[in-house]
Every structure is written in C-alpha cells, then in structure tokens.
Amino acid sequence: MLIIFCILFFIPHSFAFSLPDPYTTFSKLNLPPGVNGGSVSLDPLNQGPYVATSDGRILKYNGSDFMDFAYLSPNRDNLLGIPAPLGDSTGRILEYNTVTGEVRALLKDLPRPAGPAVSADGTFIAYGSYNTQQIFKYYLQGLKAGTTEVLVPELPGAPGITKRAVEFGYFWVGVNQMVQQQPTPVVQAYGYKFSSNGNVVLIKNFTTEYGNARVNVVQEYFNLLQGGTLYAGSRTSNYVGKYTKW
C-alpha cells in the first residue's frame, strides 16, 4: 500500500495513465418492449436500478424485470431522445436551493452542456460540452469560486451526463464517437473515468456490447461481493448494461 501511494504521489500532474479494464463481465437488463433508457441509478439501499425511460416513466428493476415506479410526464411524450440544434450555445446550468426552493443560473450561454456532477467534497461541478467534446470544471468554493476551467480537453466524441465514480474525487462520463464507415458513420461508445485534475485513468470500450448504440450515462456503484458494478444507460437501446468485475 505504501509503495502504491509513493508512486501515485510522484506522478506528475499532467501524466495520463490508464488502468486495465476490470469490468469484464456483461449482462443485459432488458427494458419493456419499445422503451429506451437514458439514465440509471440505484437507491441508497442499492436497490434497482431505476431508469428514466424515453416515454416518461421511471422503472425499477426488481431482480428479474423492470416494473413501473413513477411517471414523469402525463402524456408520455418522448422526453429523452431530442438532441438540441447543432451550434446552439444557449445552454445553462441551474442551481436549485433545497432550503429556499430558489433556482438560479450558475452558468449561461454554454455550447450544449450535458448533465453536471457535484464533486464529492462539494467544491466544484464537472460537466461535459456536447459541442466542444470537453469536460469543464466550475468552482463552487475556494479562491477560484465562480470560474471555469477545461478539465478534460480532448474527448474523441460527445460526452453525456457526468456522474461521480465510487472513488472519492473521480468521475465517469459516457462518450460517443462517430466513426466514418461505409455506407454510413457508426457510433462507438466509451466510458471515461477521470480524476478531479482531469487525468483519464480508465477508458471502458462499450462497442462490443452496444454495437452502433450510444451510451448516455455511466453509473458506478460499490458492491461488497463483486467489488463494483458499472451500469450503462442508453437512449438508443432497449436495455441497461450491467458490468461486474473480473
């Protein structure tokens, strides 16, 4: 343990290294017919996953099937599948104060931001930009409060929603790369795990299991028996992908 700490300590700030992919066992949690799921999360008791679907429902996985849990939209229109116009830069990141109920815009005029994640220590948020294919860091506290930095400068494709990883200070984001192929371009989906300093430590290649489908969210949970579970939600797939270790 001491040796590992020493090595990590002396790695220069910008040094990018990648760990071997531990999430080698895959299973599909099938959604009801005709429904896709763009988000996925467990509850505090690790029950679920819960999935927000393309037709405005929240479904809960009971160990063998997804069952209705809640409704988001009374008319169940397509809520998840509409990308904004290209070149749009009217995106905002809103802050909701749970005590006062007040909502204010933290950031405005952004080029298509994707869902942000608050860091585990609460000092910043990390969010992706669909148009620039980057991850940004916006400081909530400290000397840099109110300022934005580029955290991950070059992704191979558009990032989805950023989520906190199991380890303190790390995040996951789904990245969808358009690859030119005949007769039409195809999507290759990846999960990028990165640190608070922007070091990419793991790249999970989803292409074998997802084919030409996108991965919009990657959620990692600690799991005592298997060491960790990775869920991948896709707006263009009829299932939630579940990866376990080794």
Pick between residue 14 and residue 208 the one whose CB is nearest to ligand NAG. 208
Which of 11, 67, 84, 145 binds ligand NAG (CB under 6 A)? It is 67
CA distance 177 to 181: 12
Count the Cβ atoms, other than its own, within 10 Å of residue 205.
12
65 belongs to the binding site for ligand NAG (CB under 6 A)? yes
Which of 14, 64, 97, 98 binds ligand NAG (CB under 6 A)? It is 64
Which of 20, 34, 63, 183 binds ligand NAG (CB under 6 A)? It is 63
Asked if residue 58 lies in contact with residue 70, where contact means CB atoms within 8 angstroms, the answer is yes
Pick between residue 191 and residue 228 the one whose CB is nearest to ligand NAG. 191
Tokens at 93, concatenated: 């990141």
Question: Which span (20-28, 70-78, 94-102, 200-208) binds ligand NAG, by CB under 6 A?
Answer: 200-208
Pick between residue 62 and residue 73 the one whose CB is nearest to ligand NAG. 62
Question: Which span (121-129, 141-149, 205-213, 228-236) binds ligand NAG, by CB under 6 A?
Answer: 205-213
181 belongs to the binding site for ligand NAG (CB under 6 A)? no
Number of residues this chain uses to bind ligand NAG (CB under 6 A): 9
Asked if residue 228 lies in contact with residue 220, where contact means CB atoms within 8 angstroms, the answer is yes
24 belongs to the binding site for ligand NAG (CB under 6 A)? no
56-62 long-range Cβ contacts below 8 angstroms, 24+ apart: 59/31, 59/32, 59/35, 61/29, 61/240
Q: Map residues 76-95 to x or -, x wherever contact with ligand NAG holds by CB under 6 A.
A: --------------------
62 belongs to the binding site for ligand NAG (CB under 6 A)? yes
Report, in Å, the least distance between residue 66 CB and ligand NAG. Answer: 8
CA distance 146 to 233: 31
212 belongs to the binding site for ligand NAG (CB under 6 A)? no
Strands, E assignment, the chain? 25-30, 37-41, 50-53, 57-61, 66-71, 91-96, 103-110, 117-118, 124-129, 134-139, 148-152, 158-164, 170-179, 186-195, 200-205, 217-221, 229-233, 239-244
Asked if residue 2 lies in contact with residue 211, where contact means CB atoms within 8 angstroms, the answer is no
208 belongs to the binding site for ligand NAG (CB under 6 A)? yes
Positions in the binding site for ligand NAG (CB under 6 A): 62-65, 67, 188, 205, 207-208
